[in-house]
Amino acid sequence: MSKNREARAEAFERWAIQVEARELVPARTEALKMIAGLAEQRDQIDAALLTAVRAARAAERSWSEIGAMLGVSKQAAQRKYAKLVA
């Protein structure tokens, strides 16, 4: 755990010991949970795309072809992936 996260966790624990139940309100975190879940899915998809782009380059596919499959220009595909697949 990072120092910053550890410090925040310790501060939260100190607060939780001192807070009174009547001061608490529902958090309504559904939207934040959805964002976190989608961000995790995005990370997984980004990793899978990188694997696929590496495989395509290993199969001697052009940046134009890869860009077309990604729905971007060949330059955009190269800019995003070229250093990662080298």
Amino acid 45 reads I
Confidence class for position 12, pLDDT limits 50, 70, 90: confident
Residue 22: what pLDDT? 86
What's the whole-number mean pLDDT along residues 13-23? Answer: 87
Confidence class for position 15, pLDDT limits 50, 70, 90: confident
Distance of CA 2 to the CA centre of its chain: 18
pTM of the model: 0.67
**Torsions phi, psi for 62 (to 5 deg):** -80, 160
Inform me whether the pLDDT recorded for 3 exceeds 80: no
Inform me whether the pLDDT recorded for 64 exceeds 80: yes
Alpha carbons within 13 A on the beta-carbon side of 6: 3
